[in-house]
Chain A
C-alpha cells in the first residue's frame, strides 16, 4: 500500500507542475493517479449530476478543487439539528445560517421550530403561524394589541422579557427574538404597550 513519504510536499508539488510528460496534463494513464482539478471534476460528475449546481460545471481550471457554492444538502454535514440551532442565534449576522426559534402554543402538545429569516414581515410570519397551529391570531394594533383574537403571539427577547409580537419594528424583532409563544388571548392582555 502506498504510504506518504515524509517529504516537503510544497516542493514536490512544484516538481510535478514542471514535469515534462507525454500526453495532456491531468490524464490518468499512469498507474499512480495524479488528480488534477479537471479529473476530480469528472469523477464527481460521473455518478450524480444532480448534486452540483451550474457554477460547478463552469468552474474551469482553478487550482482549488473545491467548488464555490454547492446546493445545500439535507443532513450534511452530519451535525444534529439541536447543535446547529443552539449556536445559530449568536451568529445571526452570518449569511445563510438561518435563524431558528422555537414556537409553542398554549394547549398544543408539541413544539415547532421556524426560521425567522424566511419571513419578510410580521404579516408573513403571522400567516405562517396561523397555518402551522391552525388558529386565528388576528391583526395587531398598537393600542389594543391582539384584543379580540383567540390567540396572541408573544416572544421572548434577548433580555428575557416577554413582548407582544408587533411592538417593535420587524428588523429589531428579528434580531432580538429568542423564542415565540402563542398565548391565549385572555392571558396576553398585560403585554400590550399602552
Chain B
C-alpha cells in the first residue's frame, strides 16, 4: 500500500483545453460517440485488468488522477501489510471492486511471546467494513490477526460467493467458528488453517460441510489440535472430487490415513497426521499395506505431518519420494539413518523442513541427493541454549556444497563457524533469505573464537539477491557495517543479542535503502541510533526494538516530528521486573495514515 502514502504528491491531469473539448459535451451528457477521455479510460481499465502485481498497480495509480481512478476501479486484490497502517473505510472507499483481500496484523516477534496478548490486530473492523462494501468477496487471507467467532459468522453470511479462507498464525476463535464457515459458505474451495491457535469448542465442524458434493480443493487443519469425527471426514473426502490438498492433524492415525488416501488418490499435497498406529490396536493395523496407499497417489508432490511418527512405517512413503518437491519432517523425531532411507529417493526435492535430530550426517545425505533444493529449514528438537546440538557448521557446509541452487535457509544450531557461513555465501549465490540462529546468545565462531562478523559479512557481500537476513551469535558493530555497506537489497532484518553500540544500527539505517521490516531485541542500540533513521522511517513497514537502550524521550522526539508514524511503547511482564531505568521495554513503530489506533490496550502508550 505504499501508493497510498504518496497520493498527496500525485500530479494532476493536464486540465488545459484541447480541440476535442470544444466539440464534445461533458462525460455525463448525451452523445453518440464516446469522448476521447472516456475512451482512454475504457482502454485503461481493460489494460489494467492485466496488471496483477500490486507494485505495478501502485505505480500506475500515481501517473495521474484518471489513472488513479481507473486503477482503483479495477483492482481486485488488495494487500494490507499492516492492518493499522490504514483504516478499513479508506480501503473500501478507494477500491470498490475487490474480491480478494490479504491482511497482516501483529509483528512477527509476537510468535515468540514478545507481544503481550490482547495487543490488537482485531479483524472485526475489517470484517464489518467488508461485509458492507465487498459483497462479492471470494478470498480472504489473514496473517497474525485475532478473529472471533462473531467475525467468522459475519463472514459466513455476508459473502455469498466466498471461496477461500486462509488463516496463518491467527487466534481468537475455535472449532465453532470453523463449523459456521463450513456450513454456510457453500462455495468454499479452500479452508486452510496454518500455525493458528484454534480452540477446541468440542464442535464437530467436519460434519458441517454441505451434504452434497463439495467444491473443496484444499482442507488444511494440521494445527487444529482437536479430535475429529473420522467417519464424517471420510465421507467428506469421498464427496469432494476436487480435493487436492489435505493436511490432517495429529489425531488421525495411520489406519485412518490409509482409508482417506484410498478415497482421494488424486491428492497432490498430503499432511499425514500422526503417522502412527492408534493406541487401540486393531487387527486392521497388521493387515494394511500402507505403501500401496502411497503408491496409488501418483500426483503427490508435497508431504508433511508425521506428528508422532513411528519410524518403522517410514518405508510406506518410498513410492512417492521420486516425485516429491516438498517434504516437511519438522515434527518427525527421526535419526540420520532413518532419514537417509527416505531422502536418497528424493531427487526432485525443492523444499525440505526437518528436525536437527537427523544430525550433520543427515544433512550430508540431503546434500548428496537433493541437488535442486531451494528451501531448507532445520528446527531444533530441543530449543535450549546450553546443550550439545546435533547439527553444526559441518551440516551447513555440506548443504552449501551439495545444494547450489539454495534460495532460502533457516538453520538452528548450537555452534557455527565463519568458514562455513562464508562457504555458503560463495556456493549458494541465489540465496534470497539467510536466517541463521546460533541458539547460544553471543556465541563466537567455536573454532577460532572470533565473532561471526566475517561470516555474515560474506553473506551480504556475495549473495547479491539477498532480501531477508536474520543474524545471531557474537556480533560486533563490524557485522552491521558490512550489512549497511553490502546489503543493498535487504528488506527484512532480524537482530537479537548483537552489536556493541549505536553505530551498529546506524550503519544499517543509513546503508540499507530497501529496508522495510526491522526487528531488534536485546541489543545495545539507543536514541542516537534511532535518530539516524529519520530519513527512512516513512519507507518502512515497521521498526521493532525491544530490550534495547532506547529512552522514552528518544521516542517522543520521533513521534513529534513525524505525524504519519505511530510510535507504540510498552513493557512486557518480563521487562517490568527488570532494572531498566530510563529505557523503555518495547518500541513498535509503523507508518500509518490513521494516527494512533483507538483499540490500543492500556499497557500500550502511543506517543
Q: How many angstroms between the C-alpha atoms of A48 and B548 in the bound complex?
A: 9
Residues in A neighbouring B112, C-beta threshold 8 A = 74-76, 78-80
Identify A50's interface contact among B199, B202, B418, B578, CB under 8 A.
Answer: B578
* B383-A77 in contact (CB<8A): yes
Q: Judge if B307 is at the interface, Cβ distance under 8 Å.
A: yes
Residues in B neighbouring A104, C-beta threshold 8 A = 199-200, 202
* B439-A77 in contact (CB<8A): yes
In the complex, what residue of chain A is closest to B449 when comparing beta carbons? A35
Q: In chain B between 539 and 579, which residues have their CB closer than 8 angstroms to a CB of chain A?
A: 547, 549, 572, 574, 578-579
Identify B114's interface contact among A70, A75, A96, CB under 8 A.
Answer: A75
Q: Judge if B170 is at the interface, Cβ distance under 8 Å.
A: no
Q: How many angstroms between the C-alpha atoms of A46 and B5 in the bound complex?
A: 41
Residues in A neighbouring B109, C-beta threshold 8 A = 75
Q: How many angstroms between the C-alpha atoms of A51 and B461 in the bound complex?
A: 32
Residues in B neighbouring A65, C-beta threshold 8 A = 443-444, 449
* A83-B461 in contact (CB<8A): no
* A46-B418 in contact (CB<8A): no
Q: How many angstroms between the C-alpha atoms of A102 and B440 in the bound complex?
A: 29
A-B contact sample (8 more), CB < 8 A, given A74-B114, A77-B384, A102-B200: A1-B458, A3-B454, A35-B474, A43-B442, A79-B412, A80-B111, A80-B195, A87-B333
* A109-B174 in contact (CB<8A): yes
Q: Judge if B386 is at the interface, Cβ distance under 8 Å.
A: yes
Q: How many angstroms between the C-alpha atoms of A138 and B112 in the bound complex?
A: 36
Residues in A neighbouring B330, C-beta threshold 8 A = 83
Distance between B523 CB and nearest chain A CB, rounded to angstroms: 8
With an 8 Å Cβ cutoff, the count of chain B residues facing the other chain is 68
Identify A109's interface contact among B111, B176, B497, B578, CB under 8 A.
Answer: B176
Q: Judge if A136 is at the interface, Cβ distance under 8 Å.
A: no
Q: Judge if A158 is at the interface, Cβ distance under 8 Å.
A: yes
The B interface is mostly helix, strand or loop, or mixed, namely loop
Q: Judge if B381 is at the interface, Cβ distance under 8 Å.
A: yes
Q: In chain A between 43 and 91, which residues have their CB closer than 8 angstroms to a CB of chain B?
A: 43-44, 46-48, 50-51, 65-70, 73-84, 86-87, 90-91
Q: Judge if B225 is at the interface, Cβ distance under 8 Å.
A: yes
Identify B379's interface contact among A46, A83, A106, A111, CB under 8 A.
Answer: A83
Q: Judge if B380 is at the interface, Cβ distance under 8 Å.
A: yes
Given A46-B524, A74-B574, A81-B113: A40 touches B474 (CB 8 Å cut-off): yes
* B278-A160 in contact (CB<8A): yes
Q: Judge if B441 is at the interface, Cβ distance under 8 Å.
A: yes
Residues in A neighbouring B307, C-beta threshold 8 A = 86
Given A82-B223, A83-B330, A160-B279: A35 touches B450 (CB 8 Å cut-off): yes
Residues in A neighbouring B197, C-beta threshold 8 A = 82, 111
* B448-A94 in contact (CB<8A): no
| CB<8 Å pairs between A and B, sample of 22 | A1-B457, A3-B458, A4-B422, A4-B448, A9-B419, A9-B447, A48-B524, A65-B443, A74-B113, A74-B572, A75-B109, A76-B439, A78-B112, A79-B112, A84-B383, A87-B331, A87-B333, A87-B381, A90-B333, A91-B382, A102-B200, A109-B176
